[in-house]
Every structure is written in C-alpha cells, then in structure tokens.
Amino acid sequence: MAFMFLRESIRAYREQDPAARSDLEVLLCYPGLHALIWHRAAHAMWRRRLYLFARMFSHLGRFLTGIEIHPGAKIGRRLVIDHGMAVVIGETAEIGDDCYLYHQVTLGGTSLHQGKRHPTIGNKVIIGAGAKVLGPFTVGDNARIGSNAVVLEAVPPGTTVVGIPARPVERQRAKDLGHEPFDAYGSPEEGLRDPLLREIESLRAELSEFEARVARMANAQARREGQRVDD
Ligand SMILES: CC(C)(COP(=O)(O)OP(=O)(O)OC[C@H]1O[C@@H](n2cnc3c(N)ncnc32)[C@H](O)[C@@H]1OP(=O)(O)O)[C@@H](O)C(=O)NCCC(=O)NCCS
C-alpha cells in the first residue's frame, strides 16, 4: 500500500513536472512528496484518535517542508504539490485524485465553528500559486483556479476562475488550441499570454509590414527614375 502510494505519486510528479529527471530525484528533492509522506503517517494517527501525536507529526512535516497539512485533512491519490512552500491545508479540507497545487495555496476556513469549514476539492483540479480557497464549498472536477485568486463560493466542474473574488472566465486558450491545454505547470504558454509581450509581438509585425511597404515604394521609385534616365 505504502509502496503503491510512493510509486504513483512519484510517477505523477514525473509526468507533470518537466524539471523532474529521475524517480530518485523526486523521492529525495520534492518537498511536496515529503509533506504527503508525513501527512499519511499523521492522518493514520488522527484516525486512531492519537490527536496529539498526529499534530506533532504534522508539525514536524511542516518544519521540514514548509507545507502545513492538518492531520485531519483527507487527501486523494497522486496529489502533486509543486514547490510547496507556504501551502496550508485545513482540518476539514478534502482533496480528490490527481489534483495539482502550487506554492502558497490555502485551503482554509472562514468561521470558528468546529464542523466542516474547509473546501472539498474534486478530481483533477489545478490550483495556481497563491490562490486561497476559503469556506466549506465544493470545487468541481477539472476546475482550474488561477494564481492569486480568492475563491469564496462553489466552483462548477470544468470551470476556470480567476481574480478576487474569483469569477469564472472564458477559457480562451482551450478554444484556440481546440483541446484541453493541461500541460506541465498548468499555465498558458509563458510570454505570449503576457500582455506586454503580446503588444511587442504586434508592434513587430506592424513594423515588418511597414518596412516591406517602404521597400516596395523605393523599388518603384528606382524603376521610375531609371525610365526617366533612359528617356
Ligand atoms: C487559471 C489558469 C489555469 C488558466 O488557464 P486556462 O484555463 O487555459 O485559461 P486561459 O489561459 O484561456 O485564460 C482565460 C482568461 O483568464 C485570464 N487569466 C488567466 N489566469 C489568470 C490569473 N491568474 N489571474 C487573472 N486572470 C487570469 C487570462 O488572461 C484570460 O483572459 P483574456 O481572455 O481576457 O485574455 C492559469 O492562468 C493559471 O493561473 N495557472 C496557474 C499557473 C501557476 O500558478 N503557475 C506557477 C508556476 S511556478
């Protein structure tokens, strides 16, 4: 069981992080994986009502990885926590299978009552760096939460939400590509999505067109002058 957890978790990292070069590298150098190993132990103690030991294990995991996962949190299979630092996953949070979280993600609560107060995340959800998902609602399967979004209400399956407070957006990139764009890092092609770079690209295209027109005009002028000399 533990072996299977390790094997499929390592495979998930290798499939989704182009920087991962070998299984051994993932095993030794990925704090997200280490945090999950600590969490498995802490969660097993939590389920046996060894609450203090569970908290101590979880605290040790946090100290070593910078990732804080409450031992009560329920985490599905093949979760990838990329970079990891400052991730916080609350006590009643639940995460489905094949999810992808970046650094500084918070799955938090907004109330002090002791019941369910953290989100339930479906399967194959991507949560961008710095996003905060706050409250006891559900984020549907295949949803995408943009980096730095603050999500305060349920997200329907397959929806991309961005901003503060997070709102659904049209998935332009998926439309342009004509297929699901999940790629390593779950982000658009860096650069071309940057508005400044897009502006530079369009200015460069206009400049090339302008240069071509000037060259055509110069050629025409040269031809006319050549004809005049002949006459
Ligand atoms: C949310 C995300 C998954 C969107 O991917 P997508 O579903 O393919 O959506 P698109 O790229 O088509 O973007 C849709 C719109 O939302 C905007 N948008 C995307 N991410 C945004 C964000 N984090 N905040 C605000 N707006 C965002 C896009 O500019 C686009 O708007 P436009 O149509 O006006 O141009 C992606 O932008 C993201 O934030 N990924 C996380 C990346 C990350 O944290 N990387 C860390 C690496 S260390």
Q: What is the pLDDT of residues 14-33, one digit of tens each?
A: 998 888 999 999 999 999 99
Residue 86 pLDDT > 70, yes or no?
yes
* pLDDT for res 216: 84
In degrees, to the nearest 5, what angle opens at C-alpha 156 toward C-alphas 155 and 161? 50
* pLDDT for res 180: 61
Where residue 158 falls (left for φ over 0; alpha for ψ -120 to 50; beta otherwise) is left
pLDDT by residue (tens digit) across 120-158?
Answer: 999 999 999 999 999 999 999 999 999 999 999 999 999
Q: How far is the CA of 148 from the centre of ligand 1 (A)?
A: 10
Q: How far is the CA of 188 from the centre of ligand 1 (A)?
A: 7
Mean pLDDT confidence for 145-174: 92
* pLDDT for res 220: 86
* pLDDT for res 189: 45
For 220, phi and psi rounded to 5 degrees?
Answer: -65, -45
Mean pLDDT confidence for 165-173: 84
- The rounded percent of the chain whose pLDDT value lies above 70 is 85
Amino acid identity of residue 180, one-letter, is: E
Residue 192 pLDDT > 50, yes or no?
no
Mutate to test the pocket of ligand 1, among 87, 159, 172, 198 (most ligand atoms within 8 A of CB): 172
Contacts of 155 (CB under 8 A, 6+ apart): 137, 138, 139, 140, 143, 145, 161, 166, 168
Atom 46, ligand 1: residue with shortest CA distance: 129
Mutate to test the pocket of ligand 1, among 30, 167, 169 (most ligand atoms within 8 A of CB): 169
126 Cα nearest atom in ligand 1: 3
Pocket of ligand 1 (CB under 6 A): 83, 102, 126, 128-129, 144, 146-148, 160, 162-163, 169-174, 181, 185-188
Q: How far is the CA of 134 from the centre of ligand 1 (A)?
A: 20
- Parallel/antiparallel/unpaired status of strands 88-89 and 68-69: parallel
Q: How far is the CA of 13 from the centre of ligand 1 (A)?
A: 21
* pLDDT for res 212: 78
What letter would DSSP give residue 185? Answer: G
Atom 40, ligand 1: residue with shortest CA distance: 187
3-state SS, residue 167: strand
* pLDDT for res 213: 84
Helix (H) / strand (E) containing 132: strand 132-134
- Parallel/antiparallel/unpaired status of strands 167-169 and 160-162: antiparallel
Atom 8, ligand 1: residue with shortest CA distance: 173
Reading across the β-sheet that carries 80-81, which strands appear in turn?
Answer: 80-81, 100-101, 126-127, 144-145, 160-162, 167-169
* pLDDT for res 160: 95
Give me the helices (H) in the chain, please. 2-16, 23-29, 31-47, 51-65, 172-177, 195-230
Least confident of 1-10, 76-85, 168-177: 168-177
Q: Residue 201 half-sphere exposure, CB side, CA atoms within 13 Å?
A: 8
- Rounded CA gap, 34 and 76, in Å? 15
**Cα 36 to the center of its chain, rounded Å:** 17
Contacts of 116 (CB under 8 A, 6+ apart): 92, 136
Atom 24, ligand 1: residue with shortest CA distance: 162
Q: How far is the CA of 3 from the centre of ligand 1 (A)?
A: 35
